[in-house]
């Protein structure tokens, strides 16, 4: 009896999970393919600009104020506050870090578009300059973009 009940609950759980997965996937079905491509290109551009600012921190000549000014053009709160604090710590404490050689947005897995906000699930591949050798790392993110003064900016992200 317990085995049958357990099997039944397992089947119900799988069916519910399947419905939830397809509900998430349907978000992108409502968004036109051309909009998904625009979002992918926008995210790719923003991540590359952010990576370039990260890499600027390697230079002794670069001023933190200059980096923060450029950062404000592509990042919005709450991520802006975090980035400014992290960049300041890296620059002042000379924390060991790796250079970003390349950023590629491989897949857009889900997009929710609003007038001033985009929530997108993406797969990103990072090519990093390691201490011993270069390496690639793929990471899935849920990223939030907001529009400020007709410019899209990264507002937040979570690793998924």
For residues 86-99, give the mean pLDDT.
81
Does the structure show a pLDDT above 80 at 70? yes
Q: Two tokens at 31?
A: 């968004």
For residues 121-125, give the mean pLDDT.
97
pLDDT digits 0-9 by tens, 127-145: 999 888 999 999 999 999 9
- Confidence tier at 108 by pLDDT (50, 70, 90): very high
pLDDT at 30: 64
Rounded CA-CA distance 110/28 in Å is 5
The residues that bridge with 143 in the sheet, in sequence order, are 120, 157
Q: Is 119 exposed, middle or buried (0-12, 13-18, 19+ CB in 10 A)?
A: middle
Rounded CA-CA distance 44/108 in Å is 11
Neighbour tally for 145: CB within 10 Å: 21
Q: Which helix (H) or strand (E) holds 29?
A: helix 2-29
Helix, strand, coil percentages in the chain from 3-state DSSP, rounded to 5: 45, 35, 20
Break the chain into its structural domains and give their ranges.
30-159
- Confidence tier at 68 by pLDDT (50, 70, 90): very high
Does the structure show a pLDDT above 70 at 80? yes
pLDDT digits 0-9 by tens, 6-60: 445 555 565 665 545 444 444 444 678 999 999 999 999 999 999 999 898 888 7
Place of tokens 């002794």: 60
Fold exhibited by the domain 30-159: Nuclear Transport Factor 2; Chain: A, (3.10.450)
């Amino acid at each position: 009896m317990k085995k049958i009940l357990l099997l039944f609950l397992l089947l119900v759980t799988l069916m519910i999970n399947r419905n939830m997965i397809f509900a998430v996937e349907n978000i992108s079905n409502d968004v036109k393919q051309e909009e998904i491509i625009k979002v992918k290109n926008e995210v790719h551009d923003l991540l590359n600009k952010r990576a370039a600012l990260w890499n600027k921190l390697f230079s002794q000549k670069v001023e933190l104020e200059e980096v923060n000014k450029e950062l404000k053009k592509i990042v919005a709160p709450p991520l802006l506050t975090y980035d400014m604090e992290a960049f300041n710590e890296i620059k002042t404490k000379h924390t060991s870090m790796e250079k970003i050689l390349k950023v590629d947005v491989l897949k857009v897995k889900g997009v929710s578009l609003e007038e001033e906000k985009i929530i997108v699930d993406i797969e990103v591949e990072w090519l990093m300059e390691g201490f011993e050798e270069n390496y690639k790392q793929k990471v899935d993110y849920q990223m939030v973009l907001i529009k400020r003064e007709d410019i899209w900016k990264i507002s937040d992200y979570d690793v998924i």
